Structure 1
């Protein structure tokens, strides 16, 4: 039976070997000899980035060994070799972790997809955080729970079908989210980073495969961002919003992993003290979850 691969193409079910191949190839292609201290010759290179033999030399492994690994065959690879390759490729901590997960992935097994449950105490915590937008996001960028002010800022997710309560579908497929984020591309990239990390942790997740396939067909932006194979972990920062009711908002955010569940995170947005966003957020809170549908008062 055919399905959409994690790279968005039609073919076999997602394969961590292909994912490993693409990840190593794209990391190698982005490096130039001068990035890693190799001499630069005047001869034009036929392919972008480092050659396989150059990367193998930097990592201290044979060309045949590295070629086999880049082709997706990670059988018997040691942590030490992966560390050496990560250093040679100048991988970030998040990319290094992603590489290790891909290389150490277990053989494919049929995966039972269980519903993601949010603990009752965590739901209570969301309600207590009533002065700031807060929500719980799970695997595949699924929005699992949120408080009243998050609904006022982002939209009343309660009105959406459960399958549509997903950051990737909202940001890439709904025009109103392009208008909401001042730097839409940055938000979109962060979602793709998170989905790539999920693909490394859960290479056989059929719902993730369906999601990536759908977005690859429906969104050109998603398709080229996914093809970069970039992975980063964003746990804090500042986001700029243009809200139809209260105007410009500058909100910092923090992401907290929930208990022992690496698939769930609590995300809290908050204004910098004494900034104009404090009053704007208060005004937004007074309108409630339906704020995104209201017409600003002239």
Structure 2
């Protein structure tokens, strides 16, 4: 169960000493906190917490979840993830791109922009986003492009991100969040299975269970046409389109990265 996997990973991260639990020595069977230790610190019974960790309690109160989050020292993204897993959300509606959103993205010509679906598929991108992220792929077929798949399986993408290790971790952190938000989405499950079969790095990071919303990121790129540039990507949820995000990449005004981005625009029109 996804909830149990998350809670066990976070229990393993908290040492007894950090939680204020007296350790009388001896060999511990599990790293971090035991179930009974967490339950005691959270003020709940061990059987109740065990049912929660096993995914057999979908009626946990906010006060219980808050207590567990406090003991596990969850950040805001992890706390939201815990609530989604504990509430057992159902499958999302089929994913469709609104025509007006497509027009919006295609009308943006000075900054790279795209719409990423909940499975990290590119639903639409503009010319500049294609030129920045994947000029080796067919611009006319964004439906064949999956951003998480590129990060782990594509050699061009591996060279593009200067800190590729951080990008991989962020990709897994995002997939962990959407897998918890849409547990019935077969497409997400298939993507995770595919990456697990083809990438040892993915398997390692997935087992570490990072969770992060990744709503704003500043990254350095090593682009084959314009060289090094630093861009900030902002991911904005579309409120009427479940799980879809508009992604826009910008450079600091007057910076060498802004000049490099302008050079990429010029490269496209020349």
What TM-score, normalized by structure 1, do the two folds share? 0.84
Aligned counterparts of 1:273 and 1:28: Cα–Cα separation in 2 = 44
Alignment: residue pair count: 269
The CA RMSD measured in Å over matched residues stands at 2.1
Quick one: distance in 1 between partners of 2:55 and 2:210? Answer: 18
How far residue 75 of structure 1 moved from its aligned partner, in angstroms, is 3.9
Task: For structure 2, list consecutive stretches of 5 or more residues without a partner in the other structure.
Answer: none
Higher RCO (C-alpha under 8 Å, 6+ residues apart): 1
Distance in 2 separating the partners of 1:213 and 1:50: 30
1:144 paired residue number = 123
The structural deviation recorded for 1:172 is 0.6
1:153 is matched with 132
Separation of aligned partners in 2, 1:128 and 1:277: 22
Q: Which residue of 2 aligns with 1:125?
A: 104
Instruction: Give the deviation of 1:83 after TM superposition.
Output: 1.4
Query: Aligned equivalents of 1:72 and 1:237: distance in 2?
Result: 33
Q: What is the aligned counterpart of 1:104 among 87, 111, 134?
A: 87
Unaligned runs of 5+ in 1: 1-17, 292-298
1:118 positional shift = 2.2
Q: CA deviation at 1:159?
A: 4.7
Cα–Cα, structure 1 residues 130 and 225, in superposed 2: closer, same or farther, change >3 Å? same
Matched, 1:281 2:261: yes
- The answer to whether 1:90 aligns with 2:73 is yes
Which residue, 237, 241, 244 being the options, matches 2:221? 241
User: Does structure 2 retain, via aligned residues, the 8 Å contact 1:236–1:253?
Assistant: yes
Mapped to 1, the partners of 2:216 and 2:231 lie a distance apart of 11
**1:91 Cα deviation after fit:** 0.9
Partner SS state of residue 234, structure 2:
strand
Q: 2:168 aligns with which of 188, 200, 208?
A: 188
Q: Does the aligned pair in 1 maintain the 2:3–2:86 contact within 8 Å?
A: yes
Q: Given that residues 126 and 146 in structure 1 are in contact (C-alpha distance below 8 angstroms), is that contact kept between their aligned partners in structure 2?
A: yes
Mapping of residues 15-54 of structure 1, within 5 Å: 18-54=1-37
**What is the SS of the residue equivalent to 1:288?**
helix
Secondary structure at 1:279 match in 2: helix
SS at structure 2 position matched to 1:139: coil
Separation in structure 1 between the aligned mates of residue 15 and residue 140 of structure 2, nearest angstrom: 46
Residue 232 (structure 1) aligns with: 212
Superposition TM-score, scaled by structure 2 size: 0.92
